[in-house]
Amino acid sequence: MPAFNLYFHSLRIKEDVCKGCTHCLRNCPTEAIRVRNRLAQIKDLKCIDCGDCVRFCPWGANEVLTDDLSVLSHYEYRVLVIPPAFLSLDFLGLSTSEVMGRIFALGFQEVYEEGIGEEAYLEETRRILTKGNVKKPLISVACPAVIRLMQVRFPDLLSHLSPLNTPRDILGATVRRKLGKNSGLFYLAPCPAKITAIRNPQGIEKSPYDGVIAANILYREILRVNETTSGKVHLSGPSGVAIGRIGGEKEFLSPLRVLAIDGITNVVRFLKELEMEKVPALDLIEGRSCPNGCVGGILLPERDSFLNLYRLEQEERKRENAISPLSREDMADFLYLTMPIQPRPQYFLSENMEAAAKLLKMIDKFYEKLPKIDCGSCGAPTCRALAEDVAKGEASLEDCIFL
């Protein structure tokens, strides 16, 4: 079996809850879901862990694989990196200092805001766009779901990806270098794609993080615990906070030509246009899978991205005079990816080219027999997807209700 099949996904279907209703199937941007025998199934090669299946499921039949706080017991000293989107949450009247105090009471000794790495990332992005020899439009690597979307559906556009490391890993690697033995570094994830990005990193050999915790788990524990303790907190400036929402990169990089796109469906539509060279001259594409950016992440306990967006903008204003505790020079060794990001085929036909060509002909043959209305009643999202499944022996033409 080829190496690209060996891949961790953070999303799973809860079989005892799933009703086979096809909401997830109809909203998946990569046609990664099938419904067979009234049960949704995720096809690993196609899934990008964007979380839209979770967002649209009315039954709560999707679960996200993440660490819980028990993992902290394996380390003597524990450091947490929190994303800007976490700052957008309503903590029911708790002040920022009280929230941090409760995080320390839960077992952490030090907290860094991811925005510290994002500020260095933005500064280097400006430099390479103005002075570097890069293929434009450059596509931001800040959203892992967009990277994986390109690997799966738009491999020819991978040359447009920024050569920079992600803000999350720039900061993580810098902090990791400073930590002593038996120290644990953890990331707080606002979405499944970032959990997957830590478990299965792209463009670097190994993630600097020892674990990843879903934001809704920590939020619940913060509200549960009543005590507070002290620890070290490292805050970012306003541009580091702003990258948690759509348009944060665009505003920092002005007057460069930056287009900000949120929502995975909109990103797909734009990348199709870019693939056909139908877009105007641009310097950078700031693409985010979630609505309004990371403030719309499905692992945030409040999924109202507009209220989260409002609260994050309020937090930005509080940071106008804040200075990052780490400089770009501190993070210089980790600013760039060390490995190329490779395509990831949507499906594996055969290692034998002759056999693969034969299978493609079978797919075309089956597709011609189907009505081409993409109704989804067969359990596949499109008629073409059903033809693929039939050719691979995973379905039958009789699954089509029109035949």
195 in the same domain as 101: yes
Rounded to an integer, what distance in angstroms lies between the CA atom of residue 116 and that of residue 327?
A: 8
Same domain, 114 and 40: no
5 pLDDT band, cuts 50/70/90, is very low
Closest CA to 299 of 397, 217, 243: 217
Query: Quick one: 190 and 234 in the same domain?
Result: yes
Tell whether 50 and 84 lie within a shared domain: no
* Cα 189 to Cα 52: distance, rounded to the nearest angstrom: 16
* 4 — pLDDT class (breaks 50, 70, 90): very low
Residues 241 and 302 in one domain: yes
Encode pLDDT of 266-294 as tens digits: 999 999 999 999 999 999 999 999 999 99
- Mean pLDDT score, 179-196: 96
| DSSP H or E segment with residue 285 | strand 284-288
State the chain's mean pLDDT as an integer: 93
Say if residue 375 is in the same domain as residue 241. no
Instruction: Give me the pLDDT at residue 314, please.
Output: 95
User: pLDDT tens-digit profile of 191-223?
Assistant: 999 999 999 999 999 999 999 999 999 999 999
Average pLDDT over residues 177-183: 94
Tell me, what CATH number does 373's domain have? 1.10.15.40
Kindly state whether residues 201 and 74 are assigned to the same domain: yes
Domain that holds residue 363: 355-403
Is there a domain that residue 112 lies in?
Answer: yes
Structural domain tally of the chain? 3
Whether the pLDDT of residue 233 is over 70: the answer is yes
Q: Which of 346-350, 357-361, 363-367 has the highest mean pLDDT?
A: 363-367
Say if residue 177 is in the same domain as residue 74.
Answer: yes
> Does residue 91 share a domain with residue 217?
yes
| CA–CA gap between residue 245 and residue 233 (Å, rounded) | 22
- Spatial CB neighbours of 331, under 8 Å, sequence gap ≥ 6: 117, 120, 170, 171, 173, 174
Q: Report yes or no on 288 lying in a domain.
A: no
What are the residues whose beta carbons fall under 8 Å from the beta carbon of 170, sequence distance 6 or more?
Answer: 117, 120, 121, 164, 331, 334, 335
Asked whether residue 42 falls in the same domain as residue 128, the answer is no
